[in-house]
Amino acid sequence: MSSKIDSFFAKNGLLAKALPGFSVRPQQQEVATAVLQSMRKRGGVSLVEAATGVGKTLSYLIPAVSMATPERKVVISTQTLALQNQLLEKDIPFLQSIWPTPFEAAVLKGRGNYLCLQDYDVCRGELWTAGDPQFIQIGKWSGTTETGDVSELDFSYPGWMDIRANIDTCKGQECRFFDRCFYYNMKREAQDASILVVNHALFFSDLAVRGRGEQNANLLPDYHYVIFDEAHHLETAAAGAFGVAFSSSRLPSLLDKVKRASRRLDLDQERLKALEQSSLELFSPFAGINKPDFNVGEALEGPHALKNAQTQVAGVGALLDRLAVELLKQDTSGDPIAKDRIDGLRRQCTRAKEELAMIFQGDDENYLRWGSQNRGGRRGPITTLHYTPISVAPLLGPTLWAHNRRVGATLISATLSTNGSFDYLRERLGIPTEDTKVTETLVDSTFDYAANTLIYIPRRLPPPSESPSYTYEVVEEIIRLLDAAKGGAFLLFTSHRALNVVHEQLMLANLPYPLLRQGEMPNARLVEAFKSQENAVLLGAQSFWEGVDVPGHGLRLVIIDRIPFAMPDSPLHKARVDQITAGGGDWFNDYALPQAQLRLKQGFGRLMRGVEDRGVVALLDTRLVTKRYGSDIMKFLPRSPVTRYIEDVTKFFAPEEEAASPIPPPR
């Protein structure tokens, strides 16, 4: 390690002096060295799994700050807002306070996070905002805020979509408000920074724009190196950015804006009605689908259904074109506000036409047309149609991993390897195996799992099924476990259906532990409620498997209902399985199993958040011991002792004097 970096991590180094309780961790130094070495190579890439407890954030931040300058920026990209906030509010200010020389860091968010002064000005003159107390509050805030960042608002404003910065209405340097623009101010500040904090979605949107060679459209300034934390999300983030999504509320809300504007304009009202009707008809085949995700091709029944939909889309496109032309003909001389409004609406018409065409007429074999449903807002349920790359490998190969690349990268996470290797990650992201500039580092946790944790797999449960008798047996197991730990538990489910069924049964059991269920309040408040009670039980699905941090005794039991294989009827999952099979691969071992392995490691990781934590992870899926793939999964979980006996769990939680016989030895 370089002496500069060493001066931070050493026994009497800067971290030891500044952080009470700091302990030298060779694992942390190993990660820092790997990141630093990769940064020193032109186009160096390091893949790093740093298990919980290693001190991952500082292990990459310190090399990053040591190498970054405003001319050679380092981008730190995260998946979650929670990690972004932690970097900006805690880790970076801490380093700035001890770093020998000053350095600048800036956050860059997507446009939609910032107030657009032009669109706000346009809306100010419209009827729907008159007298609206929240709009008045926005007005006051717009005069005092330095950032215009929506996260400063302590209320959720339903009209934000109309006043946020967006690519369609933004006029850039021609805007009347350009000098004061919050979005462009943020970009200007980023120019002086050596460290930029962004999220994966923005990073990949920028990469996609650069890939298309669009002039002056870059979302990020040029950078020298990127560090992806929470890198296990990269495939999903890249697929989102390289794809297109179009919701059933998109055209109605565009038409709302046009209608509001048309009070002062001369527009063909019949055309607006026709457009409204066409939008309804376009989405009507999907309205009755009772699944969260569906394949568009399968949902459009009949041999000519897709052709018919494409004809419909062409019709909608023609109407949008004519509307854009009609808007262009409006006389706005001497009225800059009306001109801004109309220019924005025209661009929205054009973009809507292009994206609809891409979704229905795109014919790239590596892309899937699929749809998703959600409960929606004031217009009722919303259907969103997507056109998404099935594999991002061919898209990232020529950009991020190009042989002659100038930009290097670190991909780091507590859960990145499967079967002890990075093969799955490389395969999914298209990172070449023969590339000598790519290094791999796998460091173990500093936590003593053997002494402080126990894995419990029940002896008698049958393999998971949807039968009522199975659910009954699972609930019985859960109650026994909760009684042993006296609450303090996370129950992690692979489906909302299972979560709801178990919740109902636990309510009926009238347990002495407060039950908290995902969905009954925002997740952050749910976690706070959990932390505030010694014996609470929280039932969560997807979003609680990772990123939730409850250190200490409050969380001492994690119960996982089954091996988290992806939902087999998810269209994107199916398309990936088909693509792998068509390429001669083994979809189960090369895709489904590693994915489940990573997910299980993430769920497991909720238990130990601090060196003094101790607790039990109960895995209620007996396939972990009856199936061969079960032992493959178990091999790469933390080295906790395993028991099949509930009595061992009771002993584990019993006060020391009662726990006479020892818990099972480590594996």
Residues in contact with ligand SF4 by the rule CB under 6 A = 116-118, 165, 169-172, 175, 177-178, 181, 183-184
Order of strands, edge to edge, in the sheet holding 367-377? Answer: 244-247, 380-389, 367-377, 293-295
- Smallest gap, in angstroms, from Cβ of residue 163 to ligand SF4? 9
Q: Which is nearer to ligand SF4, 116 or 607 (CB)?
A: 116
CA-based end-to-end distance of the chain: 34
Q: Which is nearer to ligand SF4, 187 or 627 (CB)?
A: 187
453-456 and 615-619 strand pairing: parallel
- Burial (CB count <10 Å: 0-12, 13-18, 19+), residue 334: exposed
Q: Which is nearer to ligand SF4, 179 or 270 (CB)?
A: 179
For residue 560, what are its two tokens?
């996982």
Nearest CA-CA partner of 370 in 316, 311, 292: 292
Q: Which is nearer to ligand SF4, 118 or 415 (CB)?
A: 118
- Smallest gap, in angstroms, from Cβ of residue 148 to ligand SF4? 9
- Smallest gap, in angstroms, from Cβ of residue 117 to ligand SF4? 4
Q: Which is nearer to ligand SF4, 117 or 617 (CB)?
A: 117
Nearest CA-CA partner of 198 in 185, 182, 186: 186
- Smallest gap, in angstroms, from Cβ of residue 174 to ligand SF4? 8
- Smallest gap, in angstroms, from Cβ of residue 347 to ligand SF4? 11
- Are 546 and 517 in contact by the 8 Å Cβ rule? The answer is no
- Smallest gap, in angstroms, from Cβ of residue 111 to ligand SF4? 7
Q: Which is nearer to ligand SF4, 184 or 204 (CB)?
A: 184
Q: Which is nearer to ligand SF4, 184 or 565 (CB)?
A: 184
Q: Which is nearer to ligand SF4, 165 or 443 (CB)?
A: 165
Q: Which is nearer to ligand SF4, 183 or 493 (CB)?
A: 183
| DSSP codes joined into one string, 196-264 | EEEEHHHHHHHHHHHHHT-TT--SS---SEEEESSGGGHHHHHHHHHSEEEETTHHHHHHHHHHHHHTT
- For the CA atoms of 44, 45, 50, 56, the dihedral, rounded to the nearest 10 degrees, stands at 60
Write down how long the chain is: 667
- Smallest gap, in angstroms, from Cβ of residue 186 to ligand SF4? 10
- Are 557 and 513 in contact by the 8 Å Cβ rule? The answer is no
Q: Which residues pair with 165 in a beta bridge?
A: none
What's the Cα-to-Cα distance from 3 to each of 7, 25, 550, 577, rounded to whole Å? Answer: 6, 17, 36, 48
Nearest CA-CA partner of 560 in 618, 608, 519: 618
- Smallest gap, in angstroms, from Cβ of residue 193 to ligand SF4? 20
Q: How far apart are CA 329 and CA 333, in angstroms?
A: 11
- Smallest gap, in angstroms, from Cβ of residue 170 to ligand SF4? 3
For residue 243, what are its two tokens?
């794809």
Please give the backbone phi and psi of residue 350, each rounded to the nearest 5 degrees, phi first.
Answer: -65, -45
Q: Which is nearer to ligand SF4, 183 or 587 (CB)?
A: 183
- Smallest gap, in angstroms, from Cβ of residue 181 to ligand SF4? 3
